[in-house]
């Protein structure tokens, strides 16, 4: 009997430990204080396009990038995700969110109710956003129209459909609250641009392999491969070639960028030329001695 009691207690302790470990962390209080300062919607528009928000959250069945009702399927090896409504609809979107809720999503990967977000939402990159960009993006989203309707529920395989398990994934693989370098190109690629989410290989549990950052990886939908975009992979391209491809979609050989890169090009076209040039410069120097 004593052995059974000890075994039960051990299991309870293990379960309690797992539950605690799977609880998403809060945004650091100092960061929250900086985020809660007034945001600039005009500056937030730049963050919006740099972050590619419309690429995933644009309403299904229409082409207006500012209608963010979500619902477009995102196929992955773990199942199909349906990006949620992030419009200003108070019931179906994020219209009732506070800036603390918004910062928690971007910087800590947690829902307003304290649940972990699946990393199909690239908070592993967005956690590098500066507090200023977070509050500016929030201010810009406040200017966009409300869209009614919720996206379908994710269609995921077991055990990936157990959301609480994502908290354990975060404990193992998610480094929160680390702002990227102030170098503009590095910041745009690492943070809002979240280039590594497609171009960096992942392990069996979907975590990015930082040792092979941007060296090419299978596309998230399993079709084809996102190329190596380090200096080695782009060795036959000049900085001007990279900048032109990003802003126009045309490569040095006269081909055009398709697939998911088409959305990236649409977003890059909305950014100042200086931002695109900074990205090109960073990529052309990444991995060089």
Q: Which domain holds residue 69?
A: 1-181
pLDDT at 162: 87
Q: Are 135 and 35 in contact (CB under 8 A)?
A: yes
Cα–Cα nearest to 202, from 111, 122, 107:
122
| Residue 45 maps to a domain | yes
pLDDT at 144: 97
Per-residue confidence in pLDDT tens, the chain, 289 aa: 554 544 444 444 443 444 444 456 677 777 888 989 999 999 999 999 999 999 999 998 888 999 999 999 998 888 999 999 999 999 999 999 999 999 999 999 999 999 999 999 999 999 999 999 999 999 999 999 999 999 999 999 888 888 888 998 999 999 876 665 679 999 999 999 999 999 999 998 889 998 999 999 988 766 788 999 999 999 999 999 999 999 999 988 888 887 788 889 999 999 999 999 999 999 999 887 5
Number of domains in the chain: 1
| Residue 162 maps to a domain | yes
| pTM for the model | 0.88
| Residue 236 maps to a domain | no
Q: Are 123 and 169 in contact (CB under 8 A)?
A: no
Q: How far is CA 95 from CA 63, 68, 125, 146, 211, in A?
A: 21, 12, 24, 8, 39
Query: Residue 252 corresponds to which tokens in the numbers above?
Result: 């040095």
| Residue 228 maps to a domain | no
Q: How far apart are CA 172 and CA 179, in angstroms?
A: 19
Angle at 83 between CA 270 and CA 119, to 5 degrees: 95
| Residue 173 maps to a domain | yes
| Residue 15 maps to a domain | yes
Q: How far apart are CA 53 and CA 219, in angstroms?
A: 19
Angle at 66 between CA 97 and CA 241, to 5 degrees: 120
| Residue 214 maps to a domain | no
| Residue 113 maps to a domain | yes
């Amino acid at each position: 009997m004593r052995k059974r009691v000890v075994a039960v207690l051990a299991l309870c302790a293990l379960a309690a430990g797992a539950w605690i470990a799977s609880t998403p962390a809060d945004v650091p209080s100092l960061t929250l204080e900086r985020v809660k300062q007034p945001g600039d919607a005009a500056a937030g528009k730049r963050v919006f396009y740099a972050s590619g928000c419309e690429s995933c959250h644009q309403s299904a069945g229409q082409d207006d990038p500012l209608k963010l009702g979500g619902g477009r399927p995102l196929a992955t090896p773990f199942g199909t995700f349906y990006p949620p409504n992030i419009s200003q609809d108070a019931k179906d979107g994020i219209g009732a969110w506070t800036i603390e809720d918004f910062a928690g999503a971007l910087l800590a990967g947690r829902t307003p109710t304290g649940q972990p977000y699946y990393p199909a939402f690239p908070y592993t990159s967005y956690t590098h956003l500066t507090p200023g960009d977070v509050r500016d993006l929030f201010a810009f989203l406040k200017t966009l129209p409300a869209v009614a309707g919720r996206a379908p529920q994710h269609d995921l395989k077991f055990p990936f459909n157990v959301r609480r398990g994502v908290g354990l994934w975060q404990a193992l693989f998610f480094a929160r609250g680390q702002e990227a370098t102030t170098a503009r190109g590095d910041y745009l690629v690492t943070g809002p641009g979240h280039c590594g989410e497609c171009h960096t290989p992942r392990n069996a549990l979907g975590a990015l392999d930082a040792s092979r950052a941007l060296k090419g990886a299978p596309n998230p939908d399993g079709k084809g491969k996102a190329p190596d975009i380090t200096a080695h992979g782009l060795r036959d391209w000049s900085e001007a070639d990279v900048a032109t491809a990003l802003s126009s979609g045309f490569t040095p050989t006269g081909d055009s960028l398709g697939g998911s890169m088409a959305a990236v090009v649409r977003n890059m076209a909305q950014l100042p030329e200086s931002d695109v040039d900074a990205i090109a410069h960073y990529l052309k120097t990444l991995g060089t001695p």
